[in-house]
Amino acid sequence: MDPILIPNVSIDCVVFGFDMQDLKVLLVDRDIEHNGVLHHDRKLPGDLIRKDEELDSAACRILHDLSGLQNLYLNQFGSFGGVNRLKSKERDLIWLKQIDHPEERVITIAYYTLINLTSAKEEYILRSNAKWTSLDSLGELAFDHAEIITKAYSMMKQNFKVNPIAFELLPDKFTLSQLQKIYEVVLKTQYDKRNFRKKISQISCIVPINEKQTNVAHKPARLYMFSKDIYEKTRKDNFDFTV
Amino acid sequence: MDPILIPNVSIDCVVFGFDMQDLKVLLVDRDIEHNGVLHHDRKLPGDLIRKDEELDSAACRILHDLSGLQNLYLNQFGSFGGVNRLKSKERDLIWLKQIDHPEERVITIAYYTLINLTSAKEEYILRSNAKWTSLDSLGELAFDHAEIITKAYSMMKQNFKVNPIAFELLPDKFTLSQLQKIYEVVLKTQYDKRNFRKKISQISCIVPINEKQTNVAHKPARLYMFSKDIYEKTRKDNFDFTV
């Protein structure tokens, strides 16, 4: 039996991934045929919530169906309920006719999550027609999804400075250059290497380990890990990352 | 004609006020009679949203109906949709029978707003059975409203450090002691007076004006204003208030 859905409330997920160069967003392909012409754009992964489903569980279900991944970092960052958010573009109206309640007003609760794209884990093989797209060239998007992604990025940036979420985008073991890169890409800034390292050396939860990079052409760099234990026990109130 | 409501989506508002001593929350009295016994508790101001109403507009309507105030600072900080959030207490179930769709699952989108209680403006006279209650002694609350207030306070605290929202809780012209007090109360900390003033003197959008306090028993202190213009033009990325 199909699950009972709540017609007015959906969940949308902004999945950010970092491949050591670019910040990317996971988008689902959408093809719409109208008067014999095929129109292509993309949408965020999302779904209506089910009658007996917690909000976080719905986000987890959507992400798991999409990627096979579980236990992802989740941040519920806003709700989007513009009266005409689903009706402002003709192709959205055509697409909506395929679903059960095309006339309903849908308010969406949006989450962002962070994934390290460099891990060669098999689970990262995407199960659906979803693709990683650079945040700087998203192309045409469905509904108000461009607005949702803009807000997600803005909230993520703010969070980046006060909470240790950068490490969700990095492999477990990382170099200081990689750490600097993720801060530069997300905050759209440049750091002086020496100042950056001086600042990092004062953060006790970023721990040098007795290992170096392997399989690199250049001189292998020392690896570091983020210790959640030490972070929990040493932070005053927030992670203060203001280089 | 009564407006058409969306049965599954409500707005709740956490209204924080500062009276120069305490951080307070505006709560609405709720009386529930069950088996001849009158039970009293409090709830957040809130309502279902209307079919043609934007989310922010619904929050404005609720706040205006309650206080007569318009153009308040609004921050949408989270959605709360626990499957049993309305059903875990007997008195909530009794209260729900008074409304139209007692069995519906309601997901609420929560906003916080900030009000300066010391202004002797007539508009602050509350129109309904709402009362200012100290954040530290809220008493029994309806539904999951204690959880919503806890989250609102946590998000407001975080925002307090990176955006100039403190000034929403102060009168237009304030003393440095009042500014220090609001930071101490909200962040639950104590600042050294000299260090605090040194830090403030480096923030160019907090401007000394050529006026002093009046009607005070002690030596009148100089007044300051927050300049939004200067803030917009001088901030790098965020208001960095980490004393």
* Residue of B111, B160, B242, B243 best to disrupt the A interface, most CBs of A under 10 A: B242
What does CATH list as the number for B166-234? 1.10.10.10
Closest Cα to residue A235, out of A207, A205, A206, A209? A205
Residue A239 pLDDT grade (very low, low, confident, very high; cuts 50, 70, 90): low
Q: How far is B236 from chain A (nearest CA, A)?
A: 11
Name the residue among A49, A81, A240 with its Cβ closest to that of B54: A81
Residue % of chain B over a pLDDT of 90: 58
Residue-wise pLDDT for A4-30, tens only, equals 888 889 999 999 999 889 999 999 998
Note the pLDDT of residue A126.
Answer: 65
Q: What is the ipTM of this complex?
A: 0.84
* In chain B, domain spans: 5-162, 166-234
Answer yes or no: do B158 and A78 touch at CB < 8 A: no
Give the mean pLDDT of B217-230: 93
Answer yes or no: do A82 and B242 touch at CB < 8 A: no
Mapped onto helix, strand or coil, the DSSP state of residue A228 is: helix
Residue-wise pLDDT for B124-165, tens only, equals 556 667 888 999 999 999 999 999 999 999 999 988 888 899
Residue-wise pLDDT for B179-206, tens only, equals 999 999 999 999 999 999 998 998 889 9
Is it the case that residue A157 has pLDDT exceeding 70? yes
Name the residue among A8, A78, A83 with its Cβ closest to that of B9: A8
Closest Cα to residue B43, out of B130, B172, B153, B157? B130
Give the mean pLDDT of A110-128: 72
Chain B residues with CB under 8 Å of A8 CB are 6-9
| Residue with more model confidence, B28 or A236 | B28
Chain B residues with CB under 8 Å of A54 CB are 81-83
* Domain formed by A171-234, architecture: Orthogonal Bundle (1.10)
Q: How far is B107 from chain A (nearest CA, A)?
A: 8
* Residue of A85, A105, A187, A190 best to disrupt the B interface, most CBs of B under 10 A: A105
Is it the case that residue B122 has pLDDT exceeding 70? no
Answer yes or no: do A109 and B107 touch at CB < 8 A: yes
Predicted TM-score (pTM) of this structure: 0.88
Chain B residues with CB under 8 Å of A158 CB are 162, 238
Superfamily covering domain A5-162: Nucleoside Triphosphate Pyrophosphohydrolase (3.90.79.10)
Quick one: closest CA in B to A188, which residue? B237
Q: How far is A135 from chain B (nearest CA, A)?
A: 20
What's at B160, amino acid-wise? F
Q: What angle do CA A229, A231, A236 make, to 5 degrees?
A: 135
Q: What string of H, E and C letters represents the secondary structure of chain B?
A: CCCCEEEEEEEEEEEEEECCCCEEEEEEEEEEEECCEEEEEEECCEEEEECCCCHHHHHHHHHHHHHCCCCCCCEEEEEECCCCCCCCCHHHHHHHCCCCCCCCCCEEEEEEEEEECCCCCHHHCCCCCEEEEECCCCCCECCCHHHHHHHHHHHHHHHHHHCCCHHHHCCCCECHHHHHHHHHHHHCCCCCHHHHHHHHHCCCCEEEEEEECCCCCCCCCEEEEECHHHHHHHCCCCCCCCC
CA-derived radius of gyration, chain A: 20
Residue % of chain B over a pLDDT of 70: 91
Chain A residue set in contact with B, beta carbons under 8 Å? 6-9, 49, 51-55, 76, 78-83, 105, 107, 109, 158, 161-162, 187, 237-238, 240, 242
Is it the case that residue A54 has pLDDT exceeding 60? yes
Residues composing chain B? 243
Is it the case that residue A125 has pLDDT exceeding 60? no
Q: How far is B223 from chain A (nearest CA, A)?
A: 30
Note the pLDDT of residue B120.
Answer: 45
Is it the case that residue A181 has pLDDT exceeding 90? yes
